[in-house]
Amino acid sequence: DQQVKQNSPSLSVQEGRISILNCDYTNSMFDYFLWYKKYPAEGPTFLISISSIKDKNEDGRFTVFLNKSAKHLSLHIVPSQPGDSAVYFCAASYTGANNLFFGTGTRLTVIP
């Protein structure tokens, strides 16, 4: 049973515009959330994370928003650049968990 869901398999955005990637989760125990970026032929690389005590975390062009009541998080990329084209995975964990729970990924294409 998929506890972390990314319902949009793909997203296309013009260069310079905002990219918004969404993620929903079902397990209310999750208290730590991460986004990973994956290029072809490479492993996922850590991008940004957020703890459940926050509702926003920002790192340069990347901002993650957490809505605990809706069990929803989103990743905003502003401005989007062609090099951001990749598959983005949402992941979640909770205190005492032994692993991360991953979503199925969203392929972002930034059009020059």
Q: Does 43 bind another protein (CB under 8 A)?
A: yes
Nearer to another protein (CB atom), residue 74 or residue 104: 104
Q: Which of these ranges, 13-21, 58-66, 75-83, 86-94, lies near another protein under the rule CB under 8 A?
A: 86-94
Q: Does 26 bind another protein (CB under 8 A)?
A: no
Q: Give strand pairing partners of 91.
A: 34, 102
Q: Does 86 bind another protein (CB under 8 A)?
A: no
Of 81, 105, 88, 107, the residue nearest 47 (C-alpha)? 88
Of 4, 18, 17, 25, the residue nearest 72 (C-alpha)? 25
Q: Which of these ranges, 14-22, 29-37, 56-64, 71-79, lies near another protein under the rule CB under 8 A?
A: 29-37
Return d(Cα 13, Cα 19) in angstroms, integer. 6
